[in-house]
Structure 1
Amino acid sequence: MSTTPTVTPAAATDAPAGAAAAAPPRFAGARRFARSFRSRRAGLAGLGILLLFTVLALAAPAFIGPDQLDVTKVNGPLLAGPSASYPLGTDQAGRSVLMLLIWGARESLQIGVIATVLTVVFGSAVGIVAGHFGGFVGRALMHVTDWFIALPSLPLAISLAAVLGQGQASITIAIAATSWTATARLVRAQTLAVEARPFVERARALGAGNRQIMLRQVLPNVMPLILVSSTLTVAGALLSEATLTFLGLGSPTDVTWGEMIHDAFFGGAFTANAWWYLLPPGLAILAVVLGFTLTGRAVEHVLDPRMENKR
């Protein structure tokens, strides 16, 4: 007579407990990333700079009213130097340079972040599709990418912004249209490397379609590269925004750091030796670009420890 083994309640409860203990804790990867990032002082310094400007930009509407930026309602001294009432002096219309600088952080960061999102999304899509399909589709997409790379980016951005009209929207589109090629090239190269791995072949053998492979197999593996590219692309977008607005392609009613430099240059700040009007927006752009660069480099080294051996 055969007997069937019985499972006692204690044994039944022990198995799930052991399985739960063996399972990796939730957000373990995020905690490892945070620990590695905290060990990099340059990355922490860059992140601190970005947090400072982000807090100022988000809190700006709480203590800056519309009357402080409206040239028809401001009655401060014209191009006055720093004082107790105006810590960074005033502009040619009597507005506080400090208030303009804080409000400009809001507008400049908004343009930089939106342009970066458009750049990374479009460039990543082109790179993944070109690397996955190859053949005629991949060659055609790469020929278009090479054509955009061959064109001078600044004249092309100026032409696009001039055709689309003055304003933040036109500048954002012009920056995105001239900045996606580097992301597309990087993502395509990484996609080719990922597609050659065995787990992609197994997914194809199990009947996975092109969309499933690109979204579930390729995209998660190229996401670290996209993240690093995003942090470095923001810095370039901020510099492009400052360049285009300095050239007069921005809206005169918008307050950005590039527009501040444009107004200072054409408002007599050079002839009046009003250094307090010229230096703050330039230093702010330099600080934010440095912050994004330091943060991006730290993220790159954390996600790819082999970078340490290449230094």
Structure 2
Amino acid sequence: MHISGKIALGLIVVVLAPAAILLTTMSLDIRSKWQAEVEQRQEKLTTSTDQLDKIRTKVANLEGEYQQKTFAWGEVWDAPQSVPLAGQNGIQIGVGRSSGLGRSFDPAKPPRIYAFAENGDASTYIGEFELDQLDADRAAGRLLRPAYPGEAQSWPQGKYHVRDTLPSNWLSTVADLEAQLILIGTKFRMQQEQESLMTKQLAASQVIMDQRLAELNGDADAPMGASQQVLDGLVETLRKLEDERNLVLSDVHDLRVKLVKDYIDLETSLEKNRNLVDSSQSDASARKPALAGQ
């Protein structure tokens, strides 16, 4: 190479070296930033993957829980225009075979449903019914237990929904409540019978008391031929007897006074007689010596 060329190349290297160093430094900075950003994005991707796995697990659990609850609660049918059947302890619902209710209806083993009456967003459990009539768009059933007094009359009209099964814990709770209601009803009937018995006993006691009062105070409505004691009563009879006794006691008192007076008079007479006798005896004794001297 020519000397001038070498000199020119050296000058170019000297001039371009700082620019190359600057470009290298900038490239390293850009690479570091890209590498940091890649690491951040990889970390975010890992975090997002973990969160996605957790969300998928949660969704799977919720789907399983939903399936369990769906299986536990069974199918549900809306039943508009449902009404209670007065005097039959039953209901007629606005849903039937065409909606899938009681697909395999067997009169020998009729299906059972659980009915709820809807009122806005709330619903009220009515009871378990056995279907004895199943048409295309209507069905009717009767309550499987004896209705409580006034229960059937309290069932509303309107929209119902029915289910073919309920969760076991729900059925257990309903059974416990029904058992408690039966016990309370039995206790209430026993209290009513006891109250009726006590009312009868009170009436009988009142009759006896009226009889005793009539015996005490007299009975103006006594049958003909009743004694005066029955007519007057024991109180008036005792008062009359006391008056008679007082009269007798007064007579006895007068007799006692007279007897005492007569006794005193007798004693006085006896005393006088004794005095006369003593005086006579004294005179006789005085005359005897005189006669002896003669």
TM superposition score category, shorter chain reference: under 0.3
Structure showing the higher strand proportion among its residues: 2
Question: With structure 1 as the length reference, what TM-score do the two structures score?
Answer: 0.22
The structure number with the bigger radius of gyration is: 2
Question: With structure 2 as the length reference, what TM-score do the two structures score?
Answer: 0.23
Structure showing the higher helix proportion among its residues: 1
